[in-house]
Amino acid sequence: MNELLIKTAIEAQKLAKAPYSKFKVGAAVLLKDGKIIKGANIENAAFGASMCGERNAIFGAYCQGYKKSDIVAIAITANCDPIASPCGTCRQVLFELCPLKTPVYLANNKGKVIETTVKELLPLGFSSESMK
């Protein structure tokens, strides 16, 4: 399943709109019912209005009615070497919207893969538990 998820994330790079950076990111979220939601980065001339691929995938899953407990795994890909990893904002979003043990596959288009987890990507992350 990891291979299919990574392959789907690589396919999602074609959905990216990255006219400024030319850096296309594809992501895919595997859900408990077997469905895979794709995401890609979408840039805007006002750069702050741009959105990362992995956040688009996670938000897409939520917008289709899925919730935290439905998320099984995530793949995030870009055609680069070394392998790209999520920005700080995406790490925070993954930390709050996915189970902490969720496997995250960071991969490039040449077959390199790093397997990590949501918790490993953001040690000591901030959450609603932090505000109690």
User: Of residues 9, 90, 118, 122, which one binds Zn ion by CB under 5 A?
Assistant: 90
Asked if 114 is part of the footprint of Zn ion (rule: CB under 5 A), the reply reads no
Estimate the crossing angle of helix 53-63 against helix 88-97, to 10 degrees.
30
How far apart are CB 86 and Zn ion at their closest, in Å?
Answer: 5
Number of neighbouring beta carbons within 10 Å of residue 104: 23
Beta carbon nearer to Zn ion, 9 or 90: 90
Rounded to the nearest 5 degrees, what angle is found at the Cα of 100, between the Cα atoms of 78 and 40?
Answer: 25
Shortest distance (Å) from residue 89 CB to Zn ion:
5
* Member of 1, 87, 115, 127 binding Zn ion (CB under 5 A): 87
Selected catalytic residue, list 3, 11, 54, 129: 54
Question: What whole-number distance in Å separates Cα of residue 33 and Cα of residue 36?
Answer: 9
Nearest by Cα to 57 from 42, 79, 45 = 42
Binding site for Zn ion (CB under 5 A): 52, 87, 90
Active site residues: 54
